Structure 1
């Protein structure tokens, strides 16, 4: 069976392609950067140059395919051009859906984010959680909007679309804004990360990238159309995160607890410096700092029950990531 993957040179997309090839699938994949494509050395893939805003390249990529994995997204932290979130994540998704209809695609797996459900204000987050707060980032807003568009296409046009919602994904791969947790791990191992957000007690959910890739394939095989499936890992606090790093690496670097108002002031300062000098992208934005105020505990029980999704224990996944750290390089997301 031939499948089409958008975002094939990205953090999740590249690993998804390798997994699909290993299981005997034929793969068409969309790419923008020739340099990134060549670096992957995946000659078995039928590569199509273009992006999801280009209807013709999307249509060309789907020809002869039965399944689509729509992984591509505009996922930058720095929101200098807010309109780009809708351009890529909403209109780009519309282009994918229209091409799927034109090409008779049987199934689509759409990669969203668990961030659309909001923080865990009233218990653990599930697929039924409705965010009690406005979305923090343009990425979350656009992914939520794309989800509404998808539901309309399912109801009105009969498309079979399964939505997966990864949490904070980490693991070996390019160190860009889509893999920021691993970049933080690398900086800690090297002794250059010294920030503990708030008092370190805020809880997040961390998903190993191989588990997330597996979840995509399970969603293709077993997911119900119109349903969402959270693909996550363990719920742990920042302190627990760094304590695990200390145990694994044997390196105990100093960490400075930064009150959230201080972090917010620093974020605004970094944004201001960028606007004046244009020399670097702010490593953190005010919107992301505000998220540190909240717990983000999620449940993956639905994915486990309906898809057969499994979770790699956090420390085991962290060991694998640390072992690969020396080979990882920082790249810009473009």
Structure 2
């Protein structure tokens, strides 16, 4: 493939570039700063294109000759002092890439959305891509991703085949930042520094290894049906089961405090209030609390049946992640 990729410095994007390069593909990556791209620029077949999602001229110049676009770049933070920023990046930026891709004659356009636009699930039984949204959006990220998804579907024409992928809660080796918060939880637990269970511990989430998500992107580019979306998930787990698995892998059980929803919401409200004055994004927000205490039990059955997508279990993925973190699975607390 001759690929064009946005979001190459992100958690998923970085791994996708590495996998595409290893597969012998040519990859042009849109980057705002070449300095942040040095680790990837040495990979075979990888070329940086300086610009951002507003750089229409750079997009028009870079896309001719590409047959596949992977659009991962997004504003994914749960809060922004500039309320227009998520729309400008996630919707307007997506349309800029779509226009340039259609103009360049790109054959396949893979858009990275989020499983957050599907659900939450009414209970612990898994839902799929056909389940309608039944609650208001929890933040601008979800809402703008949903709008961008409809925009992508509208460009599924004139020879360009558009496919949407919806990753769930992604974890695994990679930069530990806002996009890799689950790995941060795993790391803190392994070092004995994680002390809470949100709510009653019974809320269900779906956790997927980053390498599975990367493979899912490539499979979607090869086998995805035009105009369709695919949940790229892993295993559905309650918070209790999540931490039970980590206890088994690390060989030690931490004393974890169940934090009431009311207390978490109050703390989040104070953080959000402070952020309105300082401009520093809060660690958590009240809508974030509501979101993560809902059930997000999701099925990747469609991706498994149509793409040949087969994710690893959380136990296997967490074991790999702990090994990458440099923690001894059986004795990481010694010393």
Q: How many residues align?
A: 325
1:273 is the counterpart of 2:274: yes
**Residue pair 2:105, 2:159 contacting (<8 A) in 1 also:** no
**Residue pair 1:118, 1:135 contacting (<8 A) in 2 also:** no
Unaligned runs of 5+ in 1: 328-334
1:207 is displaced (CA, Å) by 0.7
**Residue pair 1:5, 1:69 contacting (<8 A) in 2 also:** yes
Which residue of structure 2 aligns with residue 316 of structure 1? 316
Q: How does 1:1-334 map to 2 (within 5 A)?
A: 1-40=1-40, 42-44=42-44, 45-121=46-122, 123-154=125-156, 157=158, 159-277=160-278, 281-326=281-326
Q: Under a length normalisation based on structure 1, what TM-score does the superposition of the two structures give?
A: 0.93
Inter-partner Cα distance in structure 1 for 2:41 and 2:247: 35
Deviation sequence 1:102-122 (CA, Å, 0-9, x none):
111011110000110120016
**Residue pair 2:198, 2:293 contacting (<8 A) in 1 also:** no
- Bigger drift between 295-304 and 146-155 goes to 146-155
Inter-partner Cα distance in structure 1 for 2:223 and 2:316: 27
Inter-partner Cα distance in structure 1 for 2:183 and 2:304: 25
Deviation sequence 1:198-250 (CA, Å, 0-9, x none):
01110000010000000000001100110000000000000100111111112
**Residue pair 2:115, 2:231 contacting (<8 A) in 1 also:** yes
1:277 is displaced (CA, Å) by 4.7
Change (3 A) 1:255 1:33: farther
Let me know the Cα RMSD of the aligned residues.
1.6
Unaligned runs of 5+ in 2: 328-335
**Residue pair 1:107, 1:159 contacting (<8 A) in 2 also:** yes
**Residue pair 1:260, 1:292 contacting (<8 A) in 2 also:** no
Inter-partner Cα distance in structure 2 for 1:196 and 1:85: 30
**Residue pair 1:204, 1:297 contacting (<8 A) in 2 also:** yes
Inter-partner Cα distance in structure 1 for 2:62 and 2:8: 12
1:131 is displaced (CA, Å) by 0.7
Inter-partner Cα distance in structure 2 for 1:87 and 1:276: 23
Deviation sequence 1:18-53 (CA, Å, 0-9, x none):
111111111111112334212445343110111112
Change (3 A) 1:14 1:305: same
| 1:192 aligned counterpart, secondary structure | coil
Deviation sequence 1:94-137 (CA, Å, 0-9, x none):
00110011111011110000110120016422110111001111
**Residue pair 1:48, 1:60 contacting (<8 A) in 2 also:** no
**Residue pair 1:3, 1:27 contacting (<8 A) in 2 also:** yes
Which residue of structure 2 aligns with residue 331 of structure 1? none
Deviation sequence 1:34-83 (CA, Å, 0-9, x none):
34212445343110111112212222331321110111111112332221
Inter-partner Cα distance in structure 2 for 1:287 and 1:296: 15
